[in-house]
């Protein structure tokens, strides 16, 4: 794949010379001011920026400072292109986070060598960064990726007044699966389930991550409770459709999962899960995980191979098994048995407590 290189210089002649030298190296774009460079980098982060140090208005040093202060752009290497070759000048550039310097007048061989070296380092750094947030077994996000995304999406949801959905998914009777078919088969099963969950999540912003062991988390930005329930349904269906035989399961003849659903609306603090913390206005991202965990525990207790939703309005926890159409469950806030309709009512296994939102399960969802 082509590397994207952004050339920034107030002198069009310098840009022309650089473009000729780098024509075969990557896909080039150009900016003739610091402001334009920052805007273009934001729109589509390049793999390398060649930056004129002296420009009228916003200098190259100021541009570099702004790039390094931006979480999304700090990793983009910057090579200063300058006629200054005093050590103190270069030291100041490196202090700002520059990767290298190219002196004017330009020497084609040196420009090529320095650019190629930075692109090599960038590719390795990208690979490392990806590995650091990827689960080695399944290829989905790892726990670190999930923890970071949760904090970011939680803050963003609160700031923008958006909803945020979370699913916690646990493979049913997975110890028995390993005991019966062996750990390599167990590993392959986890990989298939992870892929099935990716297929069930349609939005680019949705994040599937391995939470630990045979547990997964799916973070659903800008997704309400109803939307999260649809994704939970899609996951139950997708895992069922894998039809991975599990003769040791007390639930079904194939591998199944249980899903805990929680969601919150940042604009309605009292309805956020786990009242005990919200009452003092101190709701934190972990409370959403705790609510999804409690819902997962309810799904397990109610028979597995099903999803359970924490009703954040405080009315109860509703649980429905695989095979029940979420679309027929009716509007949020109606009684759980009504939501399932006459056919679903017989299948409903709702756990209710006086205040299920505050109720503590007292145990994890592993049994």
Q: What positions carry a catalytic annotation?
A: 214
Residue 54 touches Mg ion, criterion: CB under 5 A:
yes
What is the distance between the alpha carbons of residues 59 and 125, in angstroms, rounded to a whole number?
27
Nearer Cβ to Mg ion (164/235): 235
Instruction: Report the residue from 47, 52, 147, 206 that binds Mg ion according to the rule CB under 5 A.
Output: 52
User: Residue 367 binds which entry of ligand GH3, Mg ion, none, with Cβ cut-offs from 5 to 8 Å by kind?
Assistant: ligand GH3
Region for residue 314 given its phi and psi (left: phi exceeds 0; alpha: psi -120 to 50; beta: otherwise): left
Cβ atoms 271, 338 nearer than 8 A: no
Q: Could you tell me the sign of the dihedral formed by the alpha carbons of 173, 225, 282, 151, in that order?
A: positive
Separation between Cα atoms, residue 204 and residue 221, nearest integer Å: 10
Q: Which of residues 205-234 bind Mg ion (CB under 5 A)?
A: 214-215
**Among 206, 214, 229, 311, interactor with ligand GH3 by CB under 6 A:** 214
Of 101 and 181, which CB lies nearer to ligand GH3 in the complex structure? 181
Q: Which of 3, 52, 153, 172 binds ligand GH3 (CB under 6 A)?
A: 172
Write out the binding residues for ligand GH3, residues 287-326 only, by CB under 6 A.
300, 304
Q: Per CB under 5 A, does 36 bind Mg ion?
A: no
- Residue from the set 183, 199, 328, 352 that interacts with ligand GH3 by CB under 6 A: 183
**Identified binder of ligand GH3 from the candidate list 29, 33, 92, 178, rule CB under 6 A:** 178
Which is nearer to ligand GH3, 154 or 211 (by Cβ)? Answer: 211
How many residues bind Mg ion (CB under 5 A)? The answer is 10
| 329 near ligand GH3, rule: CB under 6 A | no
Beta-carbon contacts of residue 280 (< 8 Å; ≥ 6 apart) = none
Q: In 3D, which of 27, 29, 28, 33 has the Cα closest to residue 10?
A: 33
- Which pairs from 275-278 meet CB under 8 Å and 24+ separation? 275/314, 275/355, 275/357, 275/358, 276/358
- The nearest distance, CB 256 to ligand GH3, in angstroms, is 9
Name which position in 100, 153, 170, 229 contacts Mg ion (CB under 5 A): 170
Residue 173 binding ligand GH3, by CB under 6 A: yes
The residue range among 174-182, 268-276, 278-286, 325-333 that interacts with ligand GH3, by the rule CB under 6 A, is 174-182
Determine the residue with CB nearest ligand GH3: 186
Q: Which does 10 bind (CB under 5 to 8 A by kind): Mg ion, ligand GH3, none?
A: Mg ion
Cα 224 to Cα 264: distance, rounded to the nearest angstrom: 7
Q: For residue 72, give the nearest of 36, 46, 98, 111 by alpha carbon.
A: 46
* Cα–Cα distance for residue pair 294/337, rounded to 1 Å: 20
- 313 sits near Mg ion (criterion: CB under 5 A): no
Choosing from 46, 60, 186, 273, the residue that interacts with ligand GH3 (CB under 6 A) is 186
DSSP of 164-232, one letter per residue?
A: EEEEEEEETTHHHHHHHH-HHHHHHHHHHHHHHHHHH--STT-EEEEEETTEEEEEEET--HHHHHHHH
> Using an 8 Å Cβ cutoff, are 275 and 291 in contact?
no
Indicate the residue among 266 and 299 with the shorter CB distance to Mg ion: 299
For residue 357, report the phi and psi dihedrals to the nearest 5 degrees: -65, -35
* CA of residue 220 relative to chain centroid, distance: 9
187 binds ligand GH3 (CB under 6 A): yes
Q: Which stretch binds Mg ion (CB under 5 A): 5-13, 152-160, 190-198, 259-267?
A: 5-13
By CB under 5 A, name the binding residues for Mg ion. 10, 52, 54-55, 170-171, 174, 214-215, 366
């Amino acid at each position: 794949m082509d590397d994207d290189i952004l050339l920034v210089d107030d002198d069009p002649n310098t840009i022309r010379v650089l473009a000729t030298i780098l024509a075969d190296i990557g896909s080039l774009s150009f900016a003739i001011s610091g402001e334009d460079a920052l805007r273009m980098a934001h729109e589509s982060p390049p793999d390398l920026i060649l930056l004129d140090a002296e420009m009228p208005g916003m200098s190259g040093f100021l541009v570099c400072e702004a790039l390094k202060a931006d979480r999304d752009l700090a990793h983009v290497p910057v090579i200063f292109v300058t006629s200054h070759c005093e050590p103190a000048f270069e030291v100041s550039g490196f202090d700002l986070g520059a990767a290298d310097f190219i002196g004017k007048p330009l020497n084609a061989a040196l420009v090529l060598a320095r650019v190629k070296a930075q692109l090599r380092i960038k590719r390795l750094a990208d690979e490392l960064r990806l590995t650091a947030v990827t689960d080695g077994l399944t290829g989905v996000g790892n726990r670190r990726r999930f923890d970071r995304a949760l904090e970011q999406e939680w803050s963003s949801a609160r700031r923008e007044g958006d909803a945020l959905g979370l699913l916690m998914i646990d493979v049913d009777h997975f110890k028995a699966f390993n005991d019966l078919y062996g750990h390599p088969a167990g590993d392959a099963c986890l990989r298939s389930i992870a892929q099935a969950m990716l297929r069930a999540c349609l939005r680019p912003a949705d994040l599937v991550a391995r939470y630990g062991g045979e547990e997964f988390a799916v973070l659903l930005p800008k997704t309400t409770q109803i939307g999260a329930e649809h994704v939970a349904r899609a996951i139950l269906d997708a895992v069922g459709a894998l039809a991975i035989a599990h003769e040791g399961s007390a639930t079904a003849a194939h591998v199944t999962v249980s899903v805990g659903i929680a969601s919150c609306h940042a604009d309605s603090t009292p309805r956020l899960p786990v009242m005990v913390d919200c009452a003092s206005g101190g709701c934190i991202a972990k409370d959403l995980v705790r609510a999804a965990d409690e819902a997962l525990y309810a799904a397990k207790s109610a028979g597995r191979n099903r999803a359970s939703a924490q009703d954040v309005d405080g009315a109860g926890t509703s649980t429905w098994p695989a095979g029940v159409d979420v679309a027929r469950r009716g509007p949020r806030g109606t009684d759980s048995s009504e939501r399932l309709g006459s056919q679903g009512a017989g299948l409903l296994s709702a756990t209710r407590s006086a205040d299920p939102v505050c109720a503590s399960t007292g145990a994890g969802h592993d049994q």
